[in-house]
Structure formats: structure tokens, C-alpha cells
Structure 1
Amino acid sequence: MTDTQPEARPAQTFAEVEDALLSRWPETKLEPSLDRIQAFTELLGEPQRSFRTVHLTGTNGKTSTSRMIETLLRALDLRTGRFTSPHLEKMSERISVDGEPLDDEAFVRAFNDVAAYTHLVDAEQEHPLSFFETIVGMAYAAFADAPVDVAVVEVGMGGAWDATNVVDADVAVVLPIAVDHEKYLGSDAATIAVEKAGIIKPGSVAVLAEQTPEVAAVLLERAAEVGATVAREGVEFGVISRTPAVGGQMVSLQGLRGAYDDVFLPLYGAHQAQNAAVALAAVESFGTGLLDEDLVRAAFAEVTSPGRLEIIRRSPTIVLDAAHNPHGAEALAAALEDSFAFSPLVGVLGVMEDKDHEGLLNALEPVLSYVVCTQNSTPRSMSAAALGRAAAEVFGEDRVSVVPDLAEAIDRAATLAEAQEAIEVSIGSGAVLVTGSVVTVGEARAMLKGRQ
């Protein structure tokens, strides 16, 4: 950034904003410091201090749980902002107000409101603002401008050093912690937990999903250190019972203030029932106390979570799931066994180069009859050929195809799913599962919706 560079002109279109944001440091490039985001939010007038916050971290389940928390808060007539990442199809999905992503005009306005300040920060700091830091600033400014009563904010990666962590949340939610982003966060869950525990602030309530003993110890130590109140899944709250049902499941949840029975959750899998229990405890912790049972039922019945065991098409059935690490793939495999009877189930897998693809393949092998290895359009995508070689080691060569083009891979899988005899399984209802990466699932979703 030179002194002679002219002040950026306001963006006119969504595409211009997207281009300006993507020209910054990518999300995958990290420099652990809150200096830039703090300088940025100071220039913006500390917008994150103008609303209360529920802050979420954890390895998997953040977006689904954020959406549940937001739906419950909106049922209580609170105006909400929601910040989630990454997006499935469109960048503006990351910033929602009143349950809806910003439209193109509002997204452009949110960018233009902060754009002039980005250059000031770039000029003062050793490194320029990243894409993620900039969009966090946009979100916080948009929430203050709305104004919202409460923001539901999902960390990008980690916790302590995550750009979202300039908020002092009323409620810190820690979903299950497993190993992911090893390069940045550490190679064991307890080390990762130290970073994620950084969102637990003095005087807050820490709502903790069920964790391994070593992770739980780290989180409880942090809570004690800062004087946070703790609510633990399996102790203070949890899932009493769950039964798979058409279109989702029926659950009974033990909240912090009481039990909520016969709640229909239109999402699949035990992990989503657990996310629902966590969401309920988070909202109760927010100071709302015991919630009206009918309000809880009505709110949960409305919950959606695109790209999370989402049936996007029938005949053959095509299911999308954004699992991108072994922990997520295990939850996905359990949910498939629990809620569906697809036979054969043909996987379309496209994963990122930096992910544990072997762990993912091993977790999915028992539930997939066959796998079509593909890739998404980003430079970070593992090549279909390399994924195919790894898949052959796990599935055997006769259960693997390599089709680099995603649209063709989905078509190939659909053909295989419909032609049961081609892979010698008993007659059942064949289906396709597209998984392995949020980007792969987002690209598939855009494609399949376009064909409808």
C-alpha cells in the first residue's frame, strides 16, 4: 500500500465487493494476532460492543448450532445477526440479519461502510487486513447498524486468535473438539482446546458439548480461570431421547431449566440432536430462563441447515453433506445408518488438499457401496486422481472411479445408484451422497438447484 495510491472508490456491484475481498489475504493464511482486527474495529467505533453475543467454536457443528440458536432467539422476538463461515454458495450468506443473508445491495453497502477504514489499517499494520478480518468487520458494523439485539457468531478457525474474538460474548459455546487444521491449531485435541477455550470470557456462561476427558479438563480450567459459569452436556443438559422420523427426528431435550418433550427436529442424525441440546442450553443461558415448550417446538420445527444431510433431489435421491474431516464423517456415517436405508449409496467425494482424506475415507467406507472421486474448482482442492489412489487403498479398486469434473461425477454416481445390478447389491433405493468439503457441496448445490 503506497501513499500515492488513490482512495478506493465505493463498490457498485456484488461482484466488485467479492473481487475486492478475495484480493486480500485468503482465509487459509493466518498470522496469529488480533492487532489488525482491533485496529479496524476501533476505527469503526467498536460496533461489536453495541449488541450482546453468543460465540461458538468447536471442530464440527458450528453452523447448524448457530442456525438453531438464532431461530430460538428470533422466536423470543429478539432481532438477530448471524455470522457463519465458510459460505456454501454465496459470500453474503456469512452475514445474516433477521434470519436472512444480506441481499446484494445490503452486502455492497456493508462493504462500502468499512472500505475506507481498511486502507488506514493496511497502511499502519505490518500485514494488511485479511479477507476474513475484513468480512468480520463488515458483519459487526452491519449488526450495529441494523441494529440487532444479539449476534450469533461462529469462529473462523480456533478461538483465541480468531478475528471474531474481539467480542466479549455473554455465552461461549464449545462444540465437540477433534483434530482439524493441524498446521495452525496443533496435532492433538487438548492443544487445540487451549486455542478454542480463548472465547470463554470473564463472567460469561460456557456451554460445553460433550468432550473427551482431556479436552474437558482444558475447557474447565479456562472457565475457572476467568470465572465463567459452566453448563455441560451430559451433566447439566442433554438429549433425553431421540427417534428417527420422516423428515428428521423426534427429540426430548433436558434443558438447564426444564425438560422439553416431543420436539420435532427436521435434521438427521444423533449429532444434530446434540447440537439442538447445546443450542437450547445456550439460549437458556442467555438469560431467558425456562422457555415456553410450544415456542421451543415451533422454533425447532423451522430450523434448516443447508448442506448438512440435505436432500436436494429425488429420483435418484441426492444428499449433500459438508463433512470435511474424520470427526464429521463419522457423525455423517452414523446418521446415514440411523435415518436412511439407501442401497446402494454412491459417494461423490471432493476434498481439500490439507485435510485428513484418509481418515475421511475410512469413516465413510462402511456406508458407501462405491465412490466417485472428483475435485472442486478451488486451487486448494486435492486432485481427483490423487484422491482416487487413496480411495482405492481403502475401498479396493473395483469400488472407485475418478471423474475430475464435478457435474460429470454426480451424473456418473446417479447412473450407478439407479443401476443396482451394476454393483451387485440387492434391490433397494439407490442414492448419491456428495461430501468431503464445504466447497464441493456448495458447488454441487448450485449445480443441482440450477437443474431443477
Structure 2
Amino acid sequence: MSDLPPHDDRASDDAFDDIVDAETDRDPDLAVIEAGSRTLRARSGPPQADAVPARPADPEVDRALRAVEQELAGRWGETKLEPSVARIAALMDVLGEPQKAYPSIHITGTNGKTSTARMVESLLGAFELRTGRYTSPHVQSITERISLDGAPIPAERFVETYEDVKAYVEMVDAAQEYRLSFFEVLTAMAYAAFADAPVDVAVVEVGMGGSWDATNVIDGSVAVVTPISLDHTDRLGNTPAEIAGEKSGIIKQGATVILAQQPVDAAQVMLKKAVEVDATVAREGMEFGVVSREVAVGGQLLTLRGLGGEYEEVFLPLYGAHQAHNAAVALAAVEAFFGIGAEHARPLDVDTVRKAFASVTSPGRLEVVRRSPTVVLDAAHNPAGALVTAAGIQEAFDFSRLIGVVGASDDKDVRGLLEAFEPVFAEIVVTQNSSHRAMDADALAAVAVEVFGDERVVVEPRLDDALEAAITLAEEEAEYAGAGVLVTGSIITVGEARLLLGRG
């Protein structure tokens, strides 16, 4: 058996506490962002081909989408929860149980859920299955959360889906102690859209936890558990084992469990749950894993061991060891979905697997959005994520000097995040995004000065000015021809930077 490298403790891809959906937490007109966008776009070049429109081009569609967003904003946001699936189950009942119209792959864990879901989706699509993917939070547009065939649902269809379920939502609201939340309504919309498409398989990412998460009205034939670490401890528990107990709720009777590398106590909880429901378990490092990886131009070249054999020369256009492990988990999940395992060990078509992984994208995760100088975006929002991002950028980029642009939320371990980045940032530009939960730039600067020293800290409260300042610093350092910029600290900061830099 090949030696498998350890899993990086990547911070949550989803960062529930780092984003309250755009509809409730951001300036709806993004006036601050739009004010400086023309200058930045002129310097950065035209929008890229893979850009996700932040707003629909059609004014009528845009108005309709804004109206839906406003109605959703009147509901509980994603950071306010009443742990129960009673409301979503009632809604599914009156909608005719759309979530039972297709098989599902259900993904929980603390770290890497969204990237893993996108890889699973790409693999299934490469094998000519029609897919629906439900993930959260979004980077720029709410429509990103519901994807069909690898693309965000069109705004028109998003609005139509909301109108289709609205009367039923109001019916359930009237019968329940609490109205359905923002996340519960979106979940119902996703399940209804998937049934209407129809899709061959749904790839569903848990919002938070597992047992009482709104997504947990599906019976996933494959349950995926990405790495578990301490997060949302006020809601899920204070130890990996306690958190695993909650997340194990997605493991259903007779399912196959794809278990990424875990803390020992978390793994024990998951294995116990699997025994209780007669589920089959495949463990990273045992039944599948990363055999080897090497840095390549634009990503990394992998050899993966799946449930059915080895897959060599797999190019993944994403950076960092954590993404290689996400790829191994995604591959095993798709193999399990196709019935490949101990009793039927045969590999998938390797050329199809290579094609699928080569097409994977994961916006806002060590994403290059500009060259000369190179600007990279990463949504790291806590110390664990910052450490992995710092390691990934050092491995993948040969920067002679790195300028950081950091805008964080005020309820995060900002000092820990800055300390993780201190060894790799030559200078840091502190800023703030448009969220009402954004940490004030001056307050962030005070912490940054303690970590970096006064001479390495620049303060620019507006994000567009911060990006300009960082790019100018990189361009003006003539003796550092290979200077780059990393924008990080919050998924909201990253989303708004993407818009400013022409990726939305």
C-alpha cells in the first residue's frame, strides 16, 4: 500500500459564520464597490470567459430577482437557527416530496464541502449524467447556490422556482411556530428545481451540522464526510467527537460512507453510526487516497487510489494539498455511487476521470484573477484556513514579494488569521467589505500593526482603494519583479474583489 500524505487542516470552504447572505448583509446596490470598478477593470482587462454575472443583464429579470431576494431577506438568515427538520419536512410534503425524485450524494464535514461537491458534479457530468448541485454560501450571486449541469441556475428560472413554491411556503409558515428560514426556502427551491429539470442525481452540501440541517430530508445513497474540526462550537459541540455526532446524522440506512481523514475521536463516532445503520464505510488512507502529487503549471498532477484501482496522471487545476485530498474523496464518492467497492472493484474510465478533474473550478479558493501583477483570491477566514492558504500559495507561486489585502468579519479570530499570514506577507493593506459585520478597517489595522509592525501596514477602508494600493505596491517594487497580491479574510471580501477585478 502506498504511503498517503497527511490531510491539511483546511478551514471551512463554506464559512457559514463568515457570510450572512448577500440579501441580508450587504449593501444591495454595492455602491462602494461599483464606484471604483471601472478603473480596476480597465487595469485588469475585460471580464473572463468563466465569469459569473453578479446581476442579470436584463433589467426586468434583475428587478424580479431583487424582489425575490428582498422577500427572502425578511426571513431568518443563515446564522439564526432553530434545530429542527419539521418545517422543511412539512414543506416537502405539500410539494409532493420532490427530493425523492432522484438519487442524492450528501456531503457534510467542516472543511472542503463546496470544492468536493464541485468535483463530484464534474465527474458525474463527465459520465453523461444530468446533475443538480446545491451548495452554500455563494461568492457573488445567490443563483450560484442552485446549479444544473454544472452552471448556476438562470436568474429567470430562479425567480420562477420561487414563485412556484411561494404559496406552499406561506401555507407551512402559517402552520408552524416559526416561519421557514432563508436557508430552508432555498433548500426547497433547489429540490423542486432538480425534480423539475429533471436531474439524474443531486449533489447536496449540508449547510451546518447534519441531523437537523434543512438538507437532511434526502436519503443520500452516498454520504460524504469531509475533514471535521472545531467550528460552530456554540451549535455543534466543543470537541470533534461531539461535532461528528451531529454530522453523522446524514448517514442513512444501508448507505455508503466516504470518510475523509479525521481526528481519531471523530472517526470513531462516524464508524459507530455506520454500524448502527448497516452502512458501508470507505476511509481515506485505507480504501482510497492520494498516492502522489506534484506541482504543475496551473495546478497539480495527481495519482489517486480509488475504490476500484489507481488513476494516474490526473491534472487538477486547483492549488494546495487540501484540494488533492478533496479530489480523492470526490472520486471515491462517485465510484461508490456507481457501485464500485470491495465486491465490485473496477476502475472508472481513466480518460473520463482525467477530463472531469481537468475542468474543475472552485471560485475564491487560491483563484488567480489577474496577471502582471498576479492577483490571487482566497476566502480563508480563520487561522486554520490562513495557514493552509499560506502554505498553498508558497508551494504554487514563486512570488518574490507578496502583498496582502485583508478584510475580515469582526466576530472572527482576526489576530490568529493575521499571525498565520505574517510570515508570507511583505506588506498588508487592511480594508473592509460592504457587510455590516465587517471589522472596521481602523480596528483591523490596530491588530495588524501589533502583528506586522507599523511600517508594513497600509490602511484603505474602501476595498477598491485597497486593491489599487496593493496592485500599485506590487507594480512599484521594481526590484521585486515577481511580486503578487493575495486578497483574503472573508468570502464577502473575495466576492466583491472578484466583481471589481472583472470576474463577475
User: Do they fold alike, i.e. is TM over 0.5?
Assistant: yes
Q: Distance in 2 between matches of 1:399 and 1:381?
A: 22
Residue 22 of structure 1: CA displacement? 1.4
Alignment check: 8 A CA contact 1:80 1:152 kept: yes
| Matching residue of 2:7 | none
| Matching residue of 2:17 | none
Superposed CA deviations along residues 379-422 of structure 1, whole A, max 9, x for unmatched, are: 1222222222222232223222222211111111112222337x
| Matching residue of 1:297 | 354
Would the alpha carbon gap of residues 135 and 314 (structure 1) be closer, same or farther in structure 2, given more than 3 Å must change? same
Amino acid across the alignment from 1:118: V
Matched, 1:378 2:429: no
Match of 1:31 among 82, 94, 104: 82
Q: Secondary structure at the match of 2:435?
A: coil
| Matching residue of 1:71 | 122
Alignment check: 8 A CA contact 1:178 1:327 kept: no
| Matching residue of 1:437 | 490
Alignment check: 8 A CA contact 1:181 1:355 kept: no
Residue 194 of structure 1: CA displacement? 1.6
Match of 1:157 among 185, 204, 208: 208
| Matching residue of 1:4 | none
The worse-fitting range, judged by mean Cα deviation, of 177-186 and 138-147 is 177-186
| Matching residue of 2:384 | 327
Q: Secondary structure at the match of 2:422?
A: helix
Name stretches of at least 5 consecutive residues in structure 2 with no aligned partner: 1-61, 341-346
Amino acid across the alignment from 1:82: R
* Greater RCO (Cα-Cα under 8 Å, separation 6 or more): 2
Task: Work out the number of aligned pairs and report it.
Answer: 438
Alignment check: 8 A CA contact 1:346 1:369 kept: yes
Matched, 1:394 2:460: no
| Matching residue of 1:210 | 261
Q: Secondary structure at the match of 1:278?
A: helix
Would the alpha carbon gap of residues 269 and 450 (structure 1) be closer, same or farther in structure 2, given more than 3 Å must change? closer
| Matching residue of 1:6 | none
Moved over 4 A (4+): none
Q: Distance in 1 between matches of 2:230 and 2:355?
A: 35
| Matching residue of 1:116 | 167
Q: Distance in 2 between matches of 1:58 and 1:330?
A: 19
Q: Secondary structure at the match of 1:164?
A: coil
Would the alpha carbon gap of residues 186 and 409 (structure 1) be closer, same or farther in structure 2, given more than 3 Å must change? farther
| Matching residue of 1:5 | none
Q: TM-score, normalised by structure 1?
A: 0.93
Superposed CA deviations along residues 221-262 of structure 1, whole A, max 9, x for unmatched, are: 222222211111111100010110111010000001100000
Q: Distance in 2 between matches of 1:413 and 1:317?
A: 11
Match of 1:22 among 55, 58, 73: 73
The worse-fitting range, judged by mean Cα deviation, of 401-410 and 304-313 is 401-410
Alignment check: 8 A CA contact 2:301 2:315 kept: yes
Q: Distance in 2 between matches of 1:170 and 1:363?
A: 39
Q: Secondary structure at the match of 2:400?
A: strand
The worse-fitting range, judged by mean Cα deviation, of 252-261 and 350-359 is 350-359
Residue 288 of structure 1: CA displacement? 4.6
Alignment check: 8 A CA contact 1:180 1:355 kept: no
The worse-fitting range, judged by mean Cα deviation, of 212-221 and 79-88 is 212-221
Match of 2:324 among 250, 254, 273: 273
Alignment check: 8 A CA contact 1:251 1:273 kept: yes
Amino acid across the alignment from 1:356: D
Q: Distance in 2 between matches of 1:187 and 1:407?
A: 39
Superposed CA deviations along residues 328-382 of structure 1, whole A, max 9, x for unmatched, are: 2222111112111112111111122232223322222222222212111111222
Q: TM-score, normalised by structure 2?
A: 0.84
Amino acid across the alignment from 1:192: I
Residue 446 of structure 1: CA displacement? 1.0
Amino acid across the alignment from 1:73: L
Amino acid across the alignment from 1:433: L
Alignment check: 8 A CA contact 1:243 1:249 kept: yes
Would the alpha carbon gap of residues 386 and 160 (structure 1) be closer, same or farther in structure 2, given more than 3 Å must change? farther
Pairing 1:113-262 to 2, within 5 Å after superposition: 113-262=164-313
Q: Distance in 1 between matches of 2:229 and 2:390?
A: 17
Residue 428 of structure 1: CA displacement? 4.2
Pairing 1:39-118 to 2, within 5 Å after superposition: 39-118=90-169
Residue 27 of structure 1: CA displacement? 0.9
| Matching residue of 2:417 | 360
Would the alpha carbon gap of residues 183 and 375 (structure 1) be closer, same or farther in structure 2, given more than 3 Å must change? farther
Name stretches of at least 5 consecutive residues in structure 1 with no aligned partner: 1-10
Amino acid across the alignment from 2:405: V
Residue 13 of structure 1: CA displacement? 1.2
Q: Distance in 1 between matches of 2:243 and 2:93?
A: 29
Amino acid across the alignment from 1:215: A
Q: Distance in 2 between matches of 1:444 and 1:404?
A: 14
Q: Distance in 1 between matches of 2:377 and 2:147?
A: 22
Q: Distance in 2 between matches of 1:358 and 1:161?
A: 32
Q: Distance in 1 between matches of 2:219 and 2:281?
A: 16
| Matching residue of 2:461 | 404
The worse-fitting range, judged by mean Cα deviation, of 95-104 and 187-196 is 187-196
Q: Distance in 2 between matches of 1:220 and 1:15?
A: 45
Residue 19 of structure 1: CA displacement? 1.2
